[in-house]
Structure 1
Amino acid sequence: MSVLVTGAGGGIGRVVVAELVAHGHAVVALDRAGASVTAGDGGAQRVHVGDCRDAEVVRAAMTGVEAVVHLAGVPRPDLVPDAELFAGNTQATFTVLDEAVRAGVRRIATASSVSALGLAWGSGAMSPLYVPIDASHPLRPEEAYALAKQVDEATEEMFCRRHGVTVVALRFPFTDTAEAIAERAALVAQDPLEASKELWAYLDVRDAARACRLVVETDVPAGFHPLYVVADDTLASLPTEQLVRRFHPRTELREPLPDRGTAYDTAAAASLLGFRAAHPRG
């Protein structure tokens, strides 16, 4: 399949490109910094340099494409002013989806985030209403990044309603290499307050790339599908239920959280994509 990957030069994007190519897909890469994208053998067949907010750039990249993995965007709230982050990320998502449906693309994966819940970058008093967190949990943004993710998902749902396409919003947690995950786990071991807002969730970037590939390859029904895609365990060494009761005492515990198991409900990702993280931190 011919797959457009936006943000192809980013930390997740580079691994997604390699994952898709390794499984026989032809990749078209779009990134603002084209030099960071691998081309030729083992890389993208075509590389387009430009901004996803530019419809002409996206339209050119979309030529001949059968699926899209949209990863482009400012990845966290402290890199640019809030207004720039919100306007840029939401406009990029709208433009990519708009050009995708115009080009006849029916299958799209997007990089959403557990940050859409409003917890990760919210106030210190913010806690989930209940755990395990599933797709029914309200999104309660308190800052521009979470709000942009919520708007992105509303945009994606609108395109699904209007055009009957399939969009899978992969709600990633802290996602990085095994080495970076080990470093953050060491910080959590020293003080479990670290990562408490994200409920100590993480994902190896290789698993994130595989989730993107599964969206491309799996016969997912038309419609909008938000999925929590996280590792089955946590960054912490203490039992998750103990940590939730300590740091989120007002949170309702709807089901037992066994040992160091994740506080997110990953059943939908397993059911829809057959996804389960294959790289626990150990």
Structure 2
Amino acid sequence: MKNVIVTGGSGKAGRAVCRDLVAHGYSVLNIDMQPSTDPICPFYKVDLKDFGQVIDAMQWTGGKDHPFRKFRTPDAVVHFAAVPAPDLVPEDVTFRNNVISTYHVFDAAIRSGVKRIVWASSETTLGLPFNPANPPAYAPIDEEHPMRPESAYSLSKDLGEEMARQMQRWNPDTTFIGLRLSNVMESGDYKRFPGWQEDGHLREWNLWGYIDARDCAQAVRKALHVDFVGADHFIIANADTVMECESAALMKQIYPGVPLRKALDGRETLLSIDKARRVLGFTPEYSWRNAQ
């Protein structure tokens, strides 16, 4: 599986995914509306809301001297293009963009013969933003936590997971892997973390979670090769929190009524990555505590 289309390869997580795949020997095509600031692979401008453009992208060859010239059908599609968070544009714009573009990518990939799609779902499907008036059902949160979308953005991701389940059911030889990504951070973002340490409420909204963009890319690469056929989803977060305070103390301070399903070890994540570790072989390699 060496020829991969990445949608949204110009975004924060997408850049890391493209960089990681190229470094591991893949031929990668970034399809996005804007070229990447890290142009490590070919770029093709595509509006994912236009189904014809998406079909065209799935069969793009790039000319006789281009690395993709022998691959009219990619081996896999990594779908990261989206309005990336709530409240960036009006709710209906977020919803229409994310739902329609996800449908187009999934459908065009299947029509083009692609058997594996890895895509960016979101931690927000689980009820974010949390606060003491809207707490999680339990902690650490895992994939069995109730789906509680609280915005058009999180609803679009929830519906994307349902699309993946149903399209896979229609095409039982395909694989859809949704990655419920925590808040994506690049190394330059870590300079903000010291400013959060005096007030646990500042990052209560996602249980103090994050995912280093490089570990996000690792999760994608592992998902491309895991021996699995079907539709499934995984929480992808770093192994620690954004805080110096230990996780059990944070929960006692901010969410004292929320049941803990396990004893917490130090600053371990409250967004459980046990399933991703077990099934995908995902092991976070980066932390803000030793950022480089």
Q: TM-score, normalised by structure 1?
A: 0.93
SS at 1:227 equivalent: strand
Give 1:106's aligned amino acid. Answer: K
Taking a change above 3 Å as real, the CA distance of residues 220 and 126 of structure 1, as seen in their structure-2 partners, is: farther
Q: Does 185-194 or 15-24 show the bigger shift?
A: 185-194
1:4 matched to which residue of 2? 5
Aligned to 1:74: 83
Asked whether 1:243 is paired with 2:245, we answer no
1:50/1:257 CA distance change after superposition, 3 Å: same
- Tell me the equivalent position of 1:29: 30
Structure 2 counterparts to residues 66-215 of structure 1, below 5 A:
66-120=75-129, 125-164=133-172, 165-183=174-192, 185-215=193-223
2:286 counterpart of 1:275: no
2:48 pairs with 52, 57, 61, which one?
52
| Aligned-partner SS, 1:14 | helix
Partner Cα distance (2:38, 2:163) in 1: 28
Calculate the aligned-residue CA RMSD, in Å. 1.5
Instruction: Quote the Cα distance in structure 2 between the aligned partners of 1:255 and 1:124.
Output: 20
1:178 CA drift (Å): 1.9
Deviation at 1:37, TM superposition (A): 6.1
Structure-2 change in CA distance of 1:246 and 1:124 (3 Å):
closer
1:145 and 1:133 mapped to 2: Cα distance?
A: 20
Aligned residues: 274
Does the 8 A contact of 2:135 with 2:255 survive in 1? yes
Taking only the aligned residue pairs, the percentage that are identical comes to: 34
Runs ≥4 residues deviating over 2 A: 34-37
Residue type at the aligned position of 1:26: S
Deviations 1:17-39 (A, max 9, x none): 1111111100111001136461x
* SS of match in other structure, 1:224: strand
Give me the whole-angstrom Cα distance separating, in 2, the residues matched to 1:214 and 1:77. 28
The answer to whether the 8 Å contact 1:127/1:197 transfers is no
**Which residue, 201, 220, 228 being the options, matches 1:221?**
228
The CA distance in 1 between the partners of 2:104 and 2:50, in whole Å, is 7
**SS in structure 2 of the partner of residue 226 of structure 1:** strand
Deviations along 1:199-223, whole A, 9 cap, x unmatched?
001111111111112222x233111
How far apart are the structure 1 equivalents of 2:279 and 2:28? 24
Deviation at residue 252 of structure 1 after TM alignment? 1.3
SS in 2 for 1:169: strand
Structure 2 partner of 1:257:
264
Equivalent residue number for residue 18 of structure 1:
19
Question: Alignment partner of 1:253: what SS?
Answer: coil
Matches of 1:104 and 1:250 in 2, distance apart?
Answer: 49
SS of the equivalent of 1:187 reads helix
Secondary structure in structure 2 of the residue aligned to 1:196: helix
CA contact (8 A) 1:187 1:194 kept: no
Q: Deviations over 1:119-141 (max 9, x none)?
A: 22x66621110112111101112
TM-score scaled to structure 2, two decimals?
0.90
Which residue identity does 1:50 align to in structure 2? V
CA contact 1:5–1:13 (8 Å) conserved in 2? yes
Unpaired runs of 5+ in structure 2? 60-72
Q: Residue type of the partner of 2:30?
A: A
Please state whether the residue corresponding to 2:21 is helix, strand or coil: helix
